[in-house]
Structure 1
Amino acid sequence: MPPKKKKGKGKKKGKKKDDAQLQLEDKYKRTMDEIEALKDHLATRKQLSRKANMHSTEWKKRMSDVELEMRDQQDDQKAINADMTRQYKTMQTDMGLKIHTLESELQRTTQQLRRVEAELTITVEEKKRMNFEKDREIEKLKHNIYTMEKEYERILLEALGSLGDKIDKARISWGDQSTMIQAKNKHILLEFGLNPLYI
């Protein structure tokens, strides 16, 4: 059997033991509470860490997608720039050819215009000369016609005058001959005993 405890001193020792036990339990409880709190905090931290990792992974994926998209865009931009550069060079070459062709056509047209203008000037001068010569020839012909008309008029007047003189001379001569013939006929009628006044 265990030895009996003394009442006086035993109560004090028991009370001290209970206080120590309480303190120990309280400390243990506080420790367990702290442990639980730390566990909760750790769990929260883990959860936050997982979320952070998930967000980080998601953002890394997004960044990777963005970088890939940017590379694709850069490749597309390079292809577009290359195509635009090619089109620009082609357009510039075509434009240069068109400008050269237009300049050649302009030069040829300018030369043709100058030649036509020179020919037109020559034609105008030739026409003026021909009109002048024609007018001069017309004036010459008019003068010749006027001169011929005057000459024909003079000749006609002279001919008419000469014809008039001839007619007058012929009339005088025919009058004389008529008088002689009448006298002769009268004489013959008288010889036959006829009166000329009754015939």
Structure 2
Amino acid sequence: MPPKKKKGKGKGKKKGKKKDDATLELEDKYKRTVDEIQALKDHLSIRKEFTRRSVAYKDEMRQRMLGAEEELEDTKSNQKTVNADMTRQYKTMQTEMSLRIHQLETELARTRSGLSQTELELKKTREEKDKIIQNRELTISDLKLKINSMEKDYEGILRGALDALIQKVEVAKERWEERSTTIQSKNKNVLLEFGLKPLEI
């Protein structure tokens, strides 16, 4: 039986700082705005192509009408009827084409307006993102300054406490030495009173 494979440890944490929720939300909004702009541009391109085809169709119809007029000159017996019919068709077509062109121009203007609004929103979003990043950097800088100030304050407090403790120890040491000298002197006198010679240390 082959040896069991050791289970590998989980993947290490990815290097780098994680973006905060506000930055991620701004990036998502930015991506959606870019997608909307691209969609508006595609829509505008389609409308332009449709307008071009409409104008070409209008020119084609005009050429057909001119051909019909030449044919009407060859067939003068039907000239008035055909001429009136073609005139009516031409006016109807012209009216319809004018209406259609007007609709397309209106849609084009609306699309351009939407594009301008989207660009303004994108600019505003970028400014908000830059402002958030700037505020975050200022906050980090302020925190670093406060931490440095606190470290210095704590260091000063510790040094003061240590100096005070050393001073108290020195005072206690001096008092103890004085007290010890007094006790030794009393003991020496008591021994002398009993006729004993104190030991020399």
TM-score, with structure 1 as normaliser: 0.44
**Structure showing the higher helix proportion among its residues:** 1
Q: Which has the larger radius of gyration?
A: 1
* Higher RCO, Cα 8 Å, sep 6+: 2
